[in-house]
Structures are given as structure tokens and as C-alpha cells.
Chains A and B, each alone.
Chain A
Amino acid sequence: MDNAALQGGFIDPARDAARAFRAGMEAMARPGTIQTLNGCTAPAPMSVAAATLLSTLCDAETPLHLAGTCDTDGVRKWVRFHLGAPLVGRADAMFAVGDWDALAPLDAYAVGTPDYPDRSATLIVEVAALTNTGATLTGPGIAQTATLSLPDGLLAARVARYPLGIDFYFTCGDRIAALPRTTKGAR
């Protein structure tokens, strides 16, 4: 195995992962806010934030889908060593990572079941820019409204079937924001 794939894990896993989990949770609990998330480095083109989030949330029991440019030999090897997550297609994925064009369409991903709405996919969308501009967000965790730059077509592609649905993270460099299924968005 090539050694680059063995680099880039947490230095101090217990503390680093706890900090990263806090950032990921804050992002999801306060949709539209942009958090800093770093600690892990995966081979290009995966962002630091995506690599750190995957290291925090994924293990051998969380099937992962690598989409588009994220699906490289280097990333696969990195995932195998640091996460041990089985690599799967969209339908079986608990997590999926890639850019928006490669991740879409959404109908292939699990949205949960009425008894277990948590058995749904979480998509980690790598974006070129992540700013508090663009779509207006409202819902739980947002006092009045929030704004977040979202990939074109994402809001339209979400189907409201609450409590079923897909949750999104957006990663760019070492920054992360989220759009849970409870958040309503408008252009």
C-alpha cells in the first residue's frame, strides 16, 4: 500500500474527533452557519473539512459512496486505512461524498423508513465556494432566516417527505455548513 494513503489521520483521535464532532453538530444544529473543521488530510481532491468529517462519522459499519472526482485510487486507499468503511453504490450508502453534479440525482439514496427515519443517507457536497449568500433558509435552529450558498438545483431536487429525507453537509477547504431535512429553503 502506498504510504501517502496512510498519512493524514487525527493526531490525537479522542480529542480531535470530539472537537470535529462538535463542529459538525453545530453546523447541523444551526443550518446556514459556517464552522471551521480540520485535523485530517485525505489525498486530493478531497477537502480537509470532508476528510475530517468522514474520519469523525465513518467506520467499518458505515457504507460510504465516493462520487465523481472523489473516487480516486488514492482516496479509496485512504478510506480503507483510516475509516475502514465499505465502499458502496448510492443505494447502499449511509454517507456519500463528492461534488454536486457527481452526487445527483438524489432519488437513488436512502431516505429512511417511517419506523426508522434515521436510516437515511447523509451527503457531503464538496463546493468551490461556501459563503453566507444566496438561498434563504428557515426552520429549526434558525432564529429568523439564514443565507447560504447552495449548489444550483439542490433545493429543487430535495423532495419533502418529512420525517424521511436526506441531510446535507457542504464542505470547502476547512469550512463546513449543513442543510438538514428540517430546513426550508428559498431562492
Chain B
Amino acid sequence: MTESTDRKTWLGLLARAPQGRIASLLSQVGPVPPATDLRRPEAGSVMVQGRAGGTGNAFNLGEMTVTRCSLQLPCGTVGHGYVQGRSKTDARAAAVVDALLQTDHADRVHATVTAPLAAEAAARQKSRAAKAAATRVEFFTLVRGED
């Protein structure tokens, strides 16, 4: 199995997925068992912290919007979804994916949902990094005359 089968990794991928993307990929998985809500999707905030000087004491930087959902599959497996932003559809889809990845459906769901999400995230990051690299300054030290 690949690294994105680790739960912490897949929950992070789901959280950062672009709006609407999880539900769209999940629809390609085929029929999924109906889940019961334990905590209906709710939008809220999380206070983001930074550190003074990058390494000092923590301080409060401001909040970000987060939507979460918890549900249970008929087999009893519980899934939790946390996504950035205010999409209740995405939060529920993330919770369904989290639950399915703990069941026999894991391989199929990984191949259809989390693997593409990981590839897309990597591609987005690579593109920005490549543009940043193109703006990297190459300094020339001017010759001062000696030797």
C-alpha cells in the first residue's frame, strides 16, 4: 500500500481537497452503503496559532473556517471528515471516504478518491514551486580588481 493509505495522510488530503472534488471522485466509486449521521455536517472555525519569531511562544493569528461531520456505516465503521471551508457536502463526503477506507472497500476507494487527490495536490504544489524556482535570483559578485 502507498503512504496515502495512512489515516492521518488521507484525512489531511481530504481536508485540503478543492471544493466539490471529494464528492465528484466519490461518485465514481459506485454504490456506497448508506451512512447514519453521528454528527451532522457543521461549519465552524478553528483558531490558527503561530509562534513569535517562528519558534517562540504561541500566539493567536486568526481563525479559519472548517466544516466537520461524523457518521457510521451499516457495518458499524465510523468515519470522521474535517474539511477547510464551509462545504457541508464535502465534509460528509470526506467522512464517508474516511469510513470506507477502514473497510474492505479501501483499495477501490483509495484508487478512485485518495490516490487522485494526492496526485492533484502534488501537481499543484509542483507547479507553484517550479514558478518560484524560475524567480530565484542568481547573484553575480562583481569583480573588485585584485588578481
Contact = CB atoms under 8 A, between A and B. Distances in A.
A80 to B, nearest CB: 12
B40 interface: yes
B78 A1 contact: yes
B70 interface: yes
A13 interface: yes
B76 A3 contact: yes
Contact of A13 (B38, B40, B72, B76): B40
A152 B39 CA distance: 39
Nearest to B72: A3
A39 interface: no
Interface string A78-119: 000110000000000000000000000000000000000000
A9 B39 contact: yes
Size category of the binding interface on chain B: under 10
Contacts of A81: 39, 70
Interface string A12-25: 11000000000000
B107 interface: no
Interface string B13-41: 00000000000000000000000001110
B38 A9 contact: yes
Contacts of B39: 6, 9, 81-82
A6 B76 contact: no
Interface residues of A, number: 9
A6 B70 CA distance: 9
Contacts of B38: 6-7, 9
A164 to B, nearest CB: 29
Nearest to A2: B78
Interface string B28-60: 000000000011101000000000000000000
B78 A13 contact: no
Nearest to B71: A6
Contacts of B40: 12-13
Given A3-B78, A6-B78, A13 B70 contact: no
A6 B42 contact: no
A9 B78 CA distance: 15
Nearest to B46: A60
Nearest to A7: B38
A78 to B, nearest CB: 11
Contacts of B42: 13
Nearest to B37: A11
A12 B42 CA distance: 11
Closest 8 pairs between A and B when the two form their complex, measured CB to CB: A6-B38, A9-B39, A3-B78, A6-B78, A3-B76, A6-B70, A13-B42, A3-B72
Given A6-B70, A6-B78, A81-B39, 12 more contacts: A1-B78, A3-B76, A3-B78, A6-B38, A6-B39, A6-B72, A7-B38, A9-B38, A9-B39, A12-B40, A13-B40, A13-B42
